[in-house]
Amino acid sequence: MKTRVIRLDMSVDPLPIYHEVADLLAAGQIAALPTETVYGLAADAFCESAVARVFDVKERPTFDPLICHLPDAQTIHRIADVPQPLRGLVDKLSQLFWPGPMTLVLPRKDCIPDIVTSGLPTVACRVTQHGVMRGVARVLGHPVAAPSANRFGRISPTTASAVLEELGGKIPLVVDAGACSEGVESTILQPCVDEKGKPAVRLLREGPLTREKLRGVCRVLKSRRPMTTPVAPGQLSSHYAPAKPMILCNPKMYFKPTPGVRYGLISYQGTSLLATQNCWEDLMILSPGSGRLAEAAVRLFAVMRAMDAREGVDCIVAEELPENGLGRAMMDRLRRAAATRFTSSPSPEV
């Protein structure tokens, strides 16, 4: 199969392209579409055979549920039954943070096929900020089921070229609307009631919508630990991983390399003690000099993918990032990526 690429110029009316993609999805096909976070592999959520094709192309286990992308917040009631005690909170969250990088996990309606939710009693709902995914869902008239457009467990794609590296020749279409503006997958929340019976949210996956922003709206309950059987996307302990092994290191400590192994370093600012060591075959920086978490988040997956492609690097070392705001989301991805390790032993700063 040859994968066709449509390069979208948002200064030109995109509606004809939305209709073309919606027709493709209505015919049971799949396509890679951009969101503000990562590119998604889209299918008509009501077409079981198309959703099955998404799982097959990604080599994704069927116990890992998908996110349903909606054209607007009002459409949530088409696929989810929001319990009465949570309606006020869900309305408030959707008004404040949709369109945007927030996914809500809610009790599902029977119209959603089991394959989308992995048989769970809940469905993950999102209204992305990106006009392409919303526009296609609106024209299609159905929710769009779309996990990230990459092979399962690998680094998420934030550009059309990264999608082609992962799935070129396996899918019929990629809509190229440029690089994603956020770079880290959406924050996943499950509205619930706390031990006092008051509305709250359980944070299931860290993302661009940070705890600090959420705490201004409602109580945020503890994150769940990574698990073998997820209740929402992105909860497996090993995920977002390069093909090469990855190690996480404290930037204030020396790294002791294993003889014969060639290392590449992903550094936050490039100014740390770790970055000054002369053992790196390559050095890539997430936020050169400035140390801005937002810039680092946008570059994270692209830098991971570039380091993974370096021929002279056997193992990737990544600096630990500040665990505040967006730093938590990035550290969540890095910890899951660092599931396979070489033996190494950092030594204290001297």
Closest CA to 284 of 275, 273, 295: 275
Percent with pLDDT over 70 in the chain:
93
Instruction: Give the tens place of pLDDT for each residue, 209-256.
Output: 999 999 999 999 976 555 556 777 766 666 788 999 999 999 999 999
**pLDDT tops 80 at residue 343:** no
**pLDDT tops 80 at residue 192:** yes
**Domain boundary at 116, 146, 176, which?**
176
Number of folded domains that form the chain: 2
Predicted pLDDT of residue 9: 87
Cβ neighbours for 271, distance < 8 A, ≥ 6 positions apart:
289
103: its two tokens: 């996914």
Instruction: Give the tens place of pLDDT for each residue, 83-124.
Output: 999 999 999 999 999 999 999 999 999 999 999 999 999 999
Mean pLDDT score, 258-268:
97
The answer as to whether 228 is a domain residue is no
Predicted TM-score of the model (pTM): 0.91
Task: Label residue 89 left, alpha or beta by phi (over 0 means left) and psi (-120 to 50 means alpha).
Answer: alpha
The answer as to whether 194 is a domain residue is no
**250 and 158 part of one domain:** no
The answer as to whether 239 is a domain residue is no
Domain CATH code at residue 20: 3.90.870.10
Predicted pLDDT of residue 229: 64
The answer as to whether 211 is a domain residue is no
**27 and 124 part of one domain:** yes
Predicted pLDDT of residue 211: 94
Task: Report CA torsion sign: 193, 80, 71, 231.
Answer: positive
- Place 349 in a pLDDT band, splitting at 50, 70 and 90: very low
**10 and 136 part of one domain:** yes
The answer as to whether 80 is a domain residue is yes
DSSP one-letter string for 92-103:
HHHHHH-SSSEE
**Domain boundary at 176, 196, 224, which?**
176
Predicted pLDDT of residue 230: 72
**pLDDT tops 60 at residue 345:** no
**132 and 257 part of one domain:** no
**pLDDT tops 90 at residue 347:** no
**Domain boundary at 161, 176, 191, which?**
176
Q: Say which residue, 153 or 148, is predicted with more confidence.
A: 148
**171 and 251 part of one domain:** no
The answer as to whether 193 is a domain residue is no
The answer as to whether 229 is a domain residue is no
Domain CATH code at residue 266: 3.40.50.11030
What residues make up the domain containing 314? 246-337
